[in-house]
Chains A and B, each alone.
Chain A
Amino acid sequence: MASTPQTSDSHTMAQGEMDLLRFATAGSVDDGKSTLIGRLLLDSKSIFEDQLEAVESTSQSKGYDYTDLALLTDGLRSEREQGITIDVAYRYFATPTRKFIIADTPGHIQYTRNMVTGASTADLGLVLVDARQGLTEQSRRHAVLLSLLRVPHLVLAINKMDLVDWSQEVYEKIHKEFTQFATKLNIPDLEVIPISALQGDNVVNRSENTPWYSGPTLMHHLEHVHVASDRDLVDTRFPVQYVIRPKSDAYHDFRGYAGQVAGGVLKKGDDIVVLPSGMPSKIAKVELFDQEVAEAFPPMSVTVHLEDDVDVSRGDMIARPKNAPKPSQDIDAMICWMTNEPLKPRQKLAIKHTTRTGRAMVKDIQYRLDVNTLHRDQDTKELGLNEIGRVQLRTTVPLLCDPYSKNRTTGSFILIDEVTGVTVGAGMING
Chain B
Amino acid sequence: MTNTHVDYQLSQLDQLEAESIHIFREVAAEFEKPVLMFSGGKDSIVMLRLAEKAFFPAKLPFPLLQVDTGLDFDEVLSTRDSWVERLGARIIVATIDEAIAAGHVVDDGKTSRNRMQIGTLLGAIEENGFTAAFGGGRRDEEKARAKERVYSHRDDFGQWDPKMQRPELWSLYNGRIHAGEHMRIFPLSNWTELDIWHYIHREQIEIPSIYFAHERDVIERDGMLLSLGPEIQPKGNEQVEKKMVRFRTVGDRTQTGCVESVATDTAAIIDEIAIARVTERGATRGDDRFSEAAMEDRKKEGYF
Contacts and interface: CB of A to CB of B under 8 A. Distances in A.
A412 B172 contact: yes
A88 B147 contact: yes
B12 A416 contact: no
A293 B169 contact: no
Contacts of B265: 5-7
B232 to A, nearest CB: 22
A241 B282 contact: no
A374 interface: no
A17 B11 contact: yes
Contacts of A51: 279, 282
A89 B142 CA distance: 11
B18 A260 contact: yes
Contact of B209 (A3, A19, A251): A3
B75 interface: yes
B139 A426 contact: no
B240 interface: no
A265 B4 CA distance: 11
B19 A299 contact: yes
Nearest to A9: B267
Contacts of B87: none
A233 B167 contact: no
B207 to A, nearest CB: 6
A54 B279 CA distance: 12
B69 interface: no
A423 B174 contact: yes
B162 interface: yes
Contact of A241 (B25, B143, B169): B25
A295 B1 CA distance: 10
A231 B10 CA distance: 12
Interface in A232-273: 233, 241-242, 244-248, 250-251, 254, 258-260, 265
B12 A99 contact: yes
Chain B interface size band reads 35 or more
A414 B172 contact: yes
B78 interface: yes
Contacts of A87: 147, 162-163, 165
A91 interface: yes
Chain A interface size band reads 35 or more
A193 interface: no
A156 interface: no
B293 A77 contact: yes
Contacts of A18: 11-12
B146 A90 contact: yes
B144 interface: yes
Interface of A: 1-13, 15-20, 48-51, 54, 58, 72-78, 80, 86-92, 94, 99, 101, 113-114, 116-117, 120-121, 228, 231, 233, 241-242, 244-248, 250-251, 254, 258-260, 265, 288-297, 299-301, 303, 314, 338, 350, 352-355, 408-409, 412-414, 416, 421-423, 426
Interface of B: 1-4, 7-15, 17-19, 21-22, 25-26, 28-29, 52-59, 75, 78-79, 82, 139-140, 142-144, 146-147, 149, 162-163, 165-172, 174, 176-178, 189-190, 192, 194-195, 198-202, 204-209, 212, 264-268, 270-271, 274, 276-279, 282-283, 292-293, 296
25 contacts: A3-B212, A4-B206, A5-B264, A7-B266, A7-B268, A10-B271, A12-B270, A15-B195, A15-B270, A16-B11, A18-B11, A48-B282, A80-B292, A87-B162, A91-B139, A116-B167, A121-B170, A241-B26, A295-B8, A297-B4, A297-B10, A300-B4, A314-B29, A350-B176, A409-B170
Q: Which 9 A-B pairs have the closest CB atoms?
A: A75-B143, A421-B176, A50-B282, A5-B265, A10-B267, A2-B79, A301-B21, A20-B12, A246-B58
Given A10-B267, A75-B142, 18 more contacts: A1-B78, A2-B78, A3-B209, A4-B207, A13-B198, A48-B279, A49-B277, A50-B282, A73-B146, A77-B293, A94-B194, A242-B28, A244-B58, A294-B3, A299-B18, A412-B170, A421-B176, A423-B167
